[in-house]
Chain A
Amino acid sequence: MITSSKRTPLTFLVHATVLFLVIIWTIPTAGLFISSIRDKNQLSTSGWWTALSTSEQRLVARAHEPKKQVQEGDRFVIRGNLFEGSAGEVTKFGSSSLRPDEFDVGTVAELKKGETLQVMENGDYAFSSPVEWKGSRGDRIFYTAETPPRFTLENYREVLNAEGLGKSFINSLTVTIPATIIPILVAAFAAYALAWMRFPGRALLVAAVVGLLVVPLQMSLIPLLKTYNLIGEFFGVGSKTYVGIWLAHTGFGLPLAIYLLRNYIVGLPREIIESARVDGASDFDIFRKIVLPLSFPALASFAIFQFLWVWNDLLIAMVFLGNDADHMVLTGQLRELLGSRGGNWEILTASAFITIIIPLCVFFGLQRYLVRGLLAGSVK
């Protein structure tokens, strides 16, 4: 722009600073994504930035149950492999949780009552005893292993099925799509009326819309909840319905929608609309055939806004759709998991990524319209 014509020594500094800031801004999301595709044991013991290096882990495994024992000479032996298929390298092992690194790999450890345990580098183990093994469960083996980096989609499979995220995903879509389309329809008609039709009280309505732009949602929640309860009781359907939340999102999104669209529609060339009127077209025809197609960019930018806002909303969903498993949207489910599975990062990271992937696609795909809408809404 300005100083780019003059190559100052500052240029390098600018590049470096911007790069630094970009890294800071993207690292949190990158960390989330990388973590979500890591093996869950590795994820819980080492930072995601070490994802590509082998990690040292302290693990515990259970030996096979006694019925798999075989008699070798005068001893009873249980054999198996600690890794069961996956790769790794054992460095130390032990038989008690207090001393998990008591023995070096390969040594034959003498345990109580003449029992011995041997663990090899590749994970093969052998429990041996002079008398027959009893009981229904195998003994535990504690070991330290170096495992190569492992990436997996297992976490996603788990959250989509077991944690109910798949269902929430559909709930979120059911809430979001109508809650995006309905306000566009309602607001477009209203914006046209406020921009091009003459009627008493127009200026007052425009001022009211601007005023309502900033009314905090919190003001509305309690009275609306009371009203919803009454209406739900009257119709016998309960207060938490999809129609209820669509209309709530519509109501809360309308001020911005009307404001944005009116700003755009009022700027359309007067001649087109006047000449259509002269030709005898009614306002409904003008709106449908001329204004609506011409306003596509503004409609698109509001649609993106509303989509992101509804998809990402937690408050309205919690109040008007409730917290039961059948109606939970993604944000609600994610918050629930944050409370109940606080330490299970493999579940949290995968769930979080599922909740943000759709908005991110919309964002990167339609960024142009989003920016245009932001500018129309703010700089004036």
Chain B
Amino acid sequence: MGQLASALVTMILGVMGCAAYFYGSNFLLDKIFPTKSGAAADVARNLRVANNIRPWLFLGPAVLLLTFYLFYPVIDSIRLSFYGRSGEDFVGLANYKWLFSSDEFYESFRNNMLWLIVVPTAATFFGLIIATMTDRIWWGNIAKSLIFMPMAISFVGASVIWKFIYDFRTGGEDQIGLLNALVVFFGGEPQTWLTIPIWNNFFLMVILIWIQTGFAMVILSAALRGIPDETIEAAVLDGANGFQIFYKIMVPQIWGTIAVVWTTITILVLKVFDIVLAMTNAQWGTQVLANQMFSWMFNGGGDFGRGAVIALVIMVLVIPIMVWNIRRANAEMEGR
């Protein structure tokens, strides 16, 4: 109970402190530059000054937090990549040399590429198929809701769920893992799925596909509803069948949305480390960049230089998407 009480107090203090800043700073601004009363010239001047300052009162905390938590660390990571374990002695390109000569890096890079190819493709594909089909049936919304559900489950929770499915029992014992039970039912030999080289990566990817398909489905389903009915009616009149309508009329019209879904999942894939950490702890050739970075941060007291280099690799992989996003956002703002 004591823990609960102190938790409540900390929570209230934290939230109140934040609210107090906004109220306090704006109250002070109104006190220092009063605009409600006084001589007309004073009011006009005060109003101008207040209007120049107020945006920065509104933006202040956000800008500070973004700078401290995202912008400055990116710069500092670049600097740290040229420094040694503790981040204090300059080592030049040693970390980069180490990176490109380490087998573990190639392993995790190869696995990351597999993840990048398989997960966004599969999740977008299943999402599109399910979105198309659920739009046509009366219980589509229930189906969508259930397929969307894994989205709410943490990666660690999902790992437990799937580790249970991949569970393996030795000898003649009954298999309690669903996958092995199915294999045995169809007359096969049970396997320790998570230790089979290369293939185990795919068993881990299944988890993320399971989680992300719902996301793809929701967004693509909205895009499909936005397709003008006339285009489809015209195709029906011209005698197109269901598959032709799907591939030649519907998919091309939502191409932009498909790209957005694809890139969003791609970025998520680059950052995933929980699944690997929880499922295999990067054994049996399942290492990925994000997890490798994490282990260099902490293993043996941590090596900040090497960790930073791996983080940079992830960052470089993200940059094309970042540029594309900014361009899109700019084009959109000009269009307004």
Say whether A222 contacts B77, CB under 8 Å: yes
**Which residue of chain B lies nearest to A348 when distances are taken between CB atoms in the complex?**
B160
Q: How far is the CB of A257 from chain B (nearest CB, A)?
A: 9
Are A220 and B329 neighbours in the complex by a CB distance under 8 Å?
no
Shortest beta-carbon distance from A309 to chain B in Å: 10
| Contact of B73 (CB < 8 Å), options: A10, A43, A44, A224 | A224
Interface string of B73-110 (1 = CB under 8 A from A): 11011001000000100000000000000000000000
- Categorize the interface residue count of chain B: 35 or more
In whole angstroms, how far apart are the Cα atoms of A227 and B304 in the complex? Answer: 13
Among B298-316, those with CB < 8 Å from A are 304, 307-308, 310-312, 314-315
Q: With contacts A334-B156, A338-B159 known, is A251 near B70, CB below 8 A?
A: yes
Verify B242–A21 contact, CB threshold 8 A.
no
The contact string, 1 if C-beta is below 8 Å from chain B, for chain A 32-75, is: 10010000000111111100000000000000000000000000
Are B58 and A8 interface neighbours, CB within 8 A?
Answer: no
Q: Would B157 and A355 count as touching, CB distance under 8 A?
A: yes
State whether the Cβ of B146 lies closer than 8 Å to any Cβ in chain A: yes
Contact (Cβ within 8 A) B55 A199:
yes
Please judge, given known A-B contacts A27-B178, A185-B19, A211-B326, whether A218 and B271 are in contact too, CB under 8 Å: yes
Cβ of B4 to closest chain A Cβ, rounded Å? 6
Assess A218 versus B218: contact at CB under 8 Å? Given A283-B58, A308-B152, A338-B156: no
Q: Are A214 and B322 within 8 A (Cβ)?
A: yes
Q: Report the minimum CB–CB distance from B218 to chain A (whole Å).
A: 5
Interface mask (A1-32 → B, CB under 8 Å = 1, otherwise 0): 11110101011001101110110011111011
Given A247-B65, A362-B152 in contact, is the A210-B325 Cβ separation under 8 Å?
yes
A: contact size bracket: 35 or more
User: Which residues in B have their C-beta under 8 angstroms from that of A217?
Assistant: 271
> Which partner residue on chain B sits nearest A251 by CB separation?
B69
Smallest CB separation, A43 vs chain B (Å): 7
Question: Which interface residue of B161, B322, B336 has the most chain A CB atoms within 10 A?
Answer: B161
Given contacts A223-B80, A248-B69, A363-B152, contact A47 B181 (CB under 8 A): yes
Within 8 A of B (CB), among A174-196: 174, 177-178, 181-182, 185-187, 189-190, 192-194
> Does the CB pair B164–A189 fall under 8 Å?
no
Does residue B204 face the partner (Cβ distance < 8 Å to A)? Answer: no
| CA–CA, A27 and B162, complex, Å | 10
Q: A212 — which chain B residues lie within 8 A by C-beta?
A: 66, 70-71
Chain B residue contacts of A192, Cβ below 8 A: 58
Q: B39 interface residue, CB < 8 Å from A? A: no
| B251 / chain A contacts, CB cutoff of 8 Å | none
Name the 3 nearest CB pairs between A and B, nearest first. A251-B69, A312-B154, A190-B62
Residues of A in contact with B (beta carbons under 8 Å apart): 1-4, 6, 8, 10-11, 14-15, 17-19, 21-22, 25-29, 31-32, 35, 43-49, 167, 170-171, 173-174, 177-178, 181-182, 185-187, 189-190, 192-194, 197-199, 203, 205-227, 242-243, 246-248, 250-252, 254-255, 258, 266, 280, 282-284, 287, 308, 311-315, 319, 331, 334-335, 338-339, 345, 348-349, 351-352, 355-356, 359-360, 362-364, 367, 371, 374-375, 378-380
A-B contact pairs, 20 of them (CB 8 A): A1-B225, A14-B133, A14-B137, A18-B130, A25-B146, A28-B165, A28-B210, A32-B160, A49-B178, A178-B14, A193-B59, A221-B294, A225-B297, A312-B155, A312-B157, A315-B274, A360-B149, A367-B145, A367-B148, A371-B218
